[in-house]
Amino acid sequence: MACRGSWCDGEEPMWFCRPRALRASSVVGLVWTRGCIMGLVKGKPSPTGKRPAKGPRDLDALLLDLEDEDSGVRRAAVRALAHQEAANPVVAGALCDRLDEERSPSVRAVLFTALIRLASPEVAGRLAMLLRSDDAPLRNGAIEALQAMPEAVTPHLRRLLTDPDSDIRIFAVNILGALSLAEAPDLLAEVLTNDDHVNVCGAAVDALAEVGTPNHIEILEGVRVRFAGDGFMTFAIDTALRRIRGH
């Protein structure tokens, strides 16, 4: 009976057929199939030599990847989690938790970008907690992120502007000064009226120089009187008044 296998010519009257010439480099073995000897051919390697791309990871797997020792795995997990819109509360909390522990600058940068994308009052509240960190790069990253989410940070501004810690109040003024908020000038005016710390008021004067109106001139003159002996404050107020008056 003639073999119908693809490796024979179909005309040999033996009970099995011999394979045609096989290249040794492509054959790894011979097997019996339907009375014919068939060669096993090696699969061709990927042109790039890379592993096939993995399919989408589920949420639980991505959350576990946040704890991976490989910073590249953590970065990839952060980017993927930022697109898990249906799970925002869970994802935002996990990313904030990771930010508290992350030491890799590149992963931190991706975390901040992801949290800005997921901007919410809850995220802003967690970032505001980092203003108390002794880690300057982490603290500065939090300030920049908060400046990029005006609607999310607005509910926290009054609390931050009246915080017992003068450093937190200064950070809050810097954040407020960078926001395009209609209420920013009046909030800064409140700081100048109620805060007695010279550095906080100095930051508020600098910010008001950018967004103040003629309605704030009287307040600035009052600050000049309160800090009459401070040369820097006098200079800052003069600069702010010139800008507000358009000189």
Reported as a single tens digit per residue, the pLDDT across 94-143 is 999 999 999 999 999 999 999 999 899 999 999 999 999 999 999 999 99
Determine the Cα–Cα distance for residues 30 and 37; give it in Å rounded to an integer. 6
Lowest mean pLDDT among 42-51, 204-213, 218-227: 42-51
Write the CB contacts of 224 (distance below 8 Å, at least 6 apart in sequence).
233, 234, 237
Domain positions in the chain are 1-41, 182-247
Alpha carbon distances (Å) from 211 to 60, 133, 153, 241:
46, 29, 19, 11
Which residue, among 119, 176, 184, 107, has the nearest Cα to 145 in the 3D structure? Answer: 119
Q: What is the overall mean pLDDT for the chain?
A: 83
Our measurement of the distance from residue 97's CA atom to the centroid of its chain's CA atoms, rounded to an integer in Å, reads 13
Structure tokens at 72: 């590249």
Output the pTM of the full model: 0.74
> Strand (E) positions, 45-139?
none
Q: What is the pLDDT of residues 7-56, one digit of tens each?
A: 444 444 443 344 444 444 444 444 444 444 444 444 444 444 444 445 45
